A and B are shown apart, each in its own frame.
Chain A
Amino acid sequence: MSASPPESARASASSEPLHLAVALDGAGWHPAAWREPGARPGELFTARYWSDVVTEAEAGLLDFVTFEDALALQSSSADGPDGRTDQVRGRLDAVLTAARVAPLTRHIGLVPTVTATHTEPFHISKAIATLDHVSRGRAGLSIQVSQLDHEARHFGRRAVSLPDAEAYEEAADHVEAVRRLWDSWDDDAEIRDVATGRFVDRDKLHYVDFQGRHFSVRGPSITPRPPQGQPVVSAASAAGTDTAYGLIARSTDVGYLGVRDAAGARAAVAEIRQARESAGLSAQPLHLFADLTVFLDEDARAADARRSRLDALADAPYSSDTAVFTGTPAELADLLQDWRSAGLSGFRLRPGVVAHDLPAITQGLVPELQRRGVFRRSYEADTLRGLLGLERPVGRYAAHPAA
């Protein structure tokens, strides 16, 4: 295969390096992934498994990993548990899993999924701030909206889920409250002034006074401002729906787009960019990644055969709310460079089988992208914002020096 990228990849952004993340969920995104050789299905609820997987992602110099989560059992049905016993059921809390892995890694970003719908912004804000402290600046979160009635019944606060628009409004409010709380301590609020006996300068601690339709939060946070100032906020949009576009445009630093092809990506990017502009945020950087499930082998036929074998085990062809790629790392590199011209700055790859496709990403795709000069050869920053080229923001309440 030629080492030069296809024509379409030479768009405006082609000189910028690509960003790559991996979405982690159990043994992988194919429902039969846990039955594959090396899948370690009996270890899915251990720290050992998760630290090995994230360490492998870090060895591949990836920007970050996301950890899937939900406040209900996995199910193929939106109506409740599907009663299946042939697929992975049960999972550990994503924030805790990320924190458990943090001291064992040094560079890779750690982005747990957090469900806004049923959680307290105050708790989430300090949890992610603390993840940022224990990882020394590598925390983010992927904000998720739940519209599952059975999940609502685990909390008992609401008999039924909120309508779409209202649920996303609530998530946007959640993010706003979380972000304000991160800024509620100025960076230099802790003064330890022995002469006056003051540990903090209370003028540098701020009430956030968030008032929303579903909650209000007084503040300040109990946790000092995290190392990144603002940990990275992200959200995903499934293919075939634009309900999450507003949340991505107004509230996040990274959006994951479920798209079927480059044209779909282009349309989604345009719509979100426009919404970002309408919100007056066009000056704030926003990364848009495509979500892509991948089955990778050195031989494309082997990848096809493997996916077919998995489908047979699962008794159904694999379907996804995003595009699915089956082929070689070089072919995937072609596709990424092609799609990037749609205005994407990176990709979040979902390994079909973690045990197989994650090493194929880190040991196959990554070297291929490096050869093409579009992916880092070493970590260039110690924080997730740094890896994503995002500056560390000044706190919104911090007094600005007199002009």
Chain B
Amino acid sequence: MSSKPLKRIHLAAHFPGVNNTTVWSDPAAGSHIDFDSFIHFAQTAERAKFDFLFLAEGLRLREQGGKIYDLDVVGRPDTFTVLAALAAVTERLGLTGTINSTFNEPYEVARQFASLDHLSEGRAAWNVVTSWDAFTGENFRRGGYLPREERYSRAKEFLATATELFDSWDGSEVVADPASGTFLRDAKAGAFTHHGQHVDIEGHFNVPRSPQGRPVIFQAGDSDEGREFAASQADAIFGRHATLDEGREFYADVKGRLPRYGRSADELKILPAATFVLGDTDAEAHEIAHEVRRLQVSGQTAIKYLEHVWNRDLSAYDPDGPLPDIDPEVGENTIALGRASVRQFSDPLDTARQWRELAEAKNLSIRELVIATTSRQTFVGSAATVAETINDLVQADAADGFILVPHITPGGLDEFADTVVPLLQERGVFRSEYEGVTLRDHLGLSTPGTGR
């Protein structure tokens, strides 16, 4: 081994989402809406000294074939509201919310994040996502007006505008001196103008500068454009490459883009999403993992998943039988409107061909094929194995840490907190106590100035 100092690992907890990773049929599975579930989950993450809690978002209930998709968990709370409430039942845990830049307005979002940062004493973070689809737009004033190719340009301008709003107060304005009667030092506090292609606003921002200056900014896109966006403006990436080779490639690529923006490698944390299954032994963990996969991919779920590729109604097919011999319907995906995940199949005919070959070679049914090809758990093993794997990946620069996605709500993090975290602490690669107050402190990020 080289003498390179050990990196400190960052860990976060993703509240189980509305997709088939989450196993709601387990007897231990609780409510996804009751605040008690959020309290349990957040307090477990804080007990384990995690960096932050992460909430995803979707602004329209998923549909497939024109009907509301009913096989996975459905329904979630409003992101800002539940994070503000969680700030009351936690003290140090960061609070990261995914907020869409297409169906919101910068003034409103900036004041919500600045407020959350004040109300949590510096623990707010924003995962900036984009969408363009008319399907989601049907719930909003703006509708689905945004051409697909403009979604990043709107996201960039949205974030730039929000940053201007955050920076419109430099933190020194509020004097609040009763004796002299001076509340504000400067009457110009909050003044801003932004005249751009997507945002054309001016006036005064009405939330004084928050403890972190700005919320920590996350970015999640994986495209070249998304990576460039992250390198230029994000503090952290909610990534998807959690294996050694893919992770190292992504890590090197994105960190390599930073110097162009005058930034150092430490200024952008790469945190892939990761699932896990623990057992007393590695063998037991693999057994459990297999069972979890079967619960995650029921026969019905397998058919629905196949429809994303085939872009057709496949309800007549037997999930325990062979793959369809008909070809996918090429062109715009109309079977699963608004689902970002269908975009991963850029050449459905080729995907179908590969899957048929794989199924024939290994004699797999539809369900078995979907179980085999869709994301298996990232970390499977005993606590010692999982702790070692996580540490190895971080030390090998495949990641700076992980955003863990348990498959059970709300108790799915408990075992990890009780068994894996202490091992990482023993190795000296994960904190035993919070050393700072704000989320920027936890992530080793400096508090930004206003650039004024």
Contact = CB atoms under 8 A, between A and B. Distances in A.
A46 B118 contact: yes
B84 interface: yes
A400 interface: no
B199 interface: yes
Contact of A103 (B35, B112, B140): B35
Nearest to A155: B105
B108 A119 contact: yes
Interface stretch (B73-81, B229-237, B263-271, B439-447): B73-81
B105 A73 contact: no
Contacts of B298: 197
B141 A120 contact: yes
B71 to A, nearest CB: 6
B60 A215 contact: no
Given A83-B187, A223-B77, A92 B203 contact: no
B190 A73 contact: yes
Contacts of B33: 133, 223-224
A129 B78 contact: yes
Nearest to B194: A156
Contact of B77 (A32, A87, A126): A126
A375 interface: no
B363 interface: no
Contact of B115 (A93, A126, A201, A218): A93
B71 A90 contact: no
A91 B240 CA distance: 38
Given A134-B35, A200-B70, A118 B300 contact: no
A130 B82 contact: yes
A72 B203 contact: yes
A100 B84 contact: yes
B108 A202 contact: no
B206 A73 contact: yes
A70 interface: yes
A70 B199 CA distance: 20
Interface in A74-103: 74, 80-81, 83-93, 95-97, 99-103
A192 B76 CA distance: 15
B71 A199 contact: yes
A304 interface: no
Interface in B271-303: 298, 300-301
A41 to B, nearest CB: 4
A205 B69 CA distance: 11
B203 A42 contact: no
Given A97-B119, A194-B25, A200-B74, A47 B88 contact: yes
Contacts of A39: 178
Interface of B: 24-25, 33-35, 38-39, 58-61, 67-68, 70-78, 80-82, 84-85, 87-89, 103-105, 107-108, 111-112, 115-116, 118-121, 138-141, 143, 169, 174, 176, 178, 181-187, 189-190, 199-204, 206-208, 298, 300-301
The 10 closest A-B pairs by CB, nearest first: A41-B176, A99-B84, A218-B138, A130-B81, A93-B115, A134-B85, A130-B78, A35-B178, A130-B77, A96-B84
20 contacts: A47-B119, A47-B120, A71-B107, A80-B203, A80-B204, A90-B206, A92-B207, A93-B112, A96-B115, A97-B84, A99-B85, A100-B85, A126-B78, A133-B34, A150-B203, A150-B204, A190-B74, A215-B141, A222-B59, A223-B33
Interface of A: 32, 34-36, 39, 41-42, 44-47, 51, 70-74, 80-81, 83-93, 95-97, 99-104, 118-120, 122-123, 126-127, 129-131, 133-134, 136, 150-151, 153-157, 185, 190, 192, 194, 197-202, 205, 214-220, 222-224, 313
